[in-house]
Structure 1
Amino acid sequence: MTQPPAALPPSCDDLQKKKRGRPKCFDEQQALEKAMLLFWEHGYEATSISDLTHALALTAPSLYSSFGDKTGLFYKCIDYYLAHEACPIEAIFLEAKTTKVAFELFLYDNVQRLAQPDKPSGCMLVVATMNCSDNAQAIQYNILEKRLKTKQKMLQRLQQGVVDGDLAATAPLAEMADFYSTVLQGLTIQARDGATVAQLHKVVEHAMRTWELF
């Protein structure tokens, strides 16, 4: 009876393919967190594929197969940031008894997140695309839309304040939303420049005193 041929040992190409595959201990969430921190600290364009593969301990083919290109990975990192690092604006606005309290809590919560000792300073939605060239305009617009959504949520909370009766019907809601979104972005720049939590708290205190001027 004819015996089936013995299995051939793996070729060098086969071994190389296995080596280029995803590591056994690969954890996508951990990888996203590491990539997020790089983009957050250095910005989208200044973070290279080499930086990412080194930080994530992945080869470039593994990175591409797992996350797509650099832009795709950046967008996933933004989603991770919004889910795990950004201020929970909806919960704060929903639970606060008045609109003023909602904005005050929102700003103070942001301060704690903008100046963490173990994380990059500032808001990733602001700092990650600050110095991008024209080649990254699509990415800048995408992030701008996300910032505008936050501003829209602020405006909606102000409108709810009018409905609830804790804001006058004549209050300039659009101007208030513009002002406090500007304060929020200013806090990011100050944190990036090294301002302490105590200094940022003082900014919030003065911003909330301005509430009565509207």
Structure 2
Amino acid sequence: MANSEEHIQVSEKQDIHPELKRRRGRPKCFDEQEALQKAMMLFWKYGYEATAMSDLTKALNLTAPSIYSTFGDKSQLFHACLDYYLKHEACSLDLIFQQAETAKVAIEIYLYENLKKLLQQDKPTGCMLVTATMNCSEQHQPLQHDLLLKRQQVKEKIYQRLQQGVEDGDLSSDADIQAMTDYYSTVIQGLTMQARDGVAIEQLENVVTLALKTWTLF
């Protein structure tokens, strides 16, 4: 009798354990980075609130449970897409500021490189950091706040690069670097909105040229 009970217990373990192992170790049958890229394009083009879960499942060719199990809910997927955007699509601010010989050159390159990113063939116009949570309802304010913090981080880096220009001697110690930071940050965000409105690259380049001519006014 004992041997029979032992045999049953062993059989149950053998029946259950492989199934649990199979479920837990089931490999994903899709490329996560490719899925993030496709989801990012939707959020970038239409914004967070206007992008429905049904849009995402269709674009990614995945079921909602597959998306949830891999990326979490819609807001978590959005944050993952935002990280993907900053890594692969946004202007390389840190690299530009590190390599530029002067503060003016740093700002000039940054403005022109931004233009290239704002108007790319077969990609949404504008900057995802600015456009993705515009006109969101009150329930999505945490997302708006998160993007605001990221934009403020960019602004702080601009300020620090201008401060470095003062320390290096290529920018006057009398320069109002806070006003310069506010001004060029406003220009960059304005370029995003103009790009979304379909303004031609030539017109936006004229805006950048004019903005750089104001350098000595500060």
Give the drift of 1:22: 7.3
Aligned to 2:87: 83
Aligned to 1:189: 193
Aligned to 1:37: 41
Aligned to 1:101: 105
Give the drift of 1:131: 1.3
- Between the aligned residues of both structures, percent identity stands at 59
Aligned to 2:155: 151
Aligned to 1:11: none
Q: 1:110 aligns with which of 99, 107, 114?
A: 114
Aligned to 1:10: none
- Distance in 1, matches of 2:41 and 2:200, equals 20
2:179 aligned with 1:175: yes
- Distance in 1, matches of 2:43 and 2:108, equals 29
Structure 2 residue matching 1:155: 3-state secondary structure = helix
Greater Rg, structure 1 or structure 2?
2
Task: Write the letter of the residue equivalent to 2:48.
Answer: Y
- Distance in 2, matches of 1:118 and 1:208, equals 29
Aligned to 1:127: 131
RMSD value, Cα: 1.9
Give the drift of 1:183: 0.1
Task: Write the letter of the residue equivalent to 2:52.
Answer: S
Structure 1 residue matching 2:192: 3-state secondary structure = helix
Q: 2:65 aligns with which of 61, 70, 77?
A: 61
Give the drift of 1:118: 1.0
1:98-138 deviation digits (Å, cap 9, x = unpaired): 10010000000000000112100000000001111111000
Structure 1 residue matching 2:193: 3-state secondary structure = helix
2:214 aligned with 1:213: no
Aligned to 1:8: none
Aligned to 1:162: 166
- Distance in 1, matches of 2:208 and 2:27, equals 46
| Superposition misfits of 4+ residues, deviation over 6 angstroms | none
Task: Write the letter of the residue equivalent to 1:161.
Answer: G
Scaled by the length of structure 1, the TM-score of the pair is: 0.89
Contact 1:23-1:58 within 8 A present in 2 as well: no
Q: Which runs of 5+ in 2 are unaligned?
A: 1-7, 9-18
Contact 1:53-1:59 within 8 A present in 2 as well: yes
Structure 1 residue matching 2:108: 3-state secondary structure = helix
Larger helix proportion of the pair: 2
Task: Write the letter of the residue equivalent to 1:45.
Answer: E
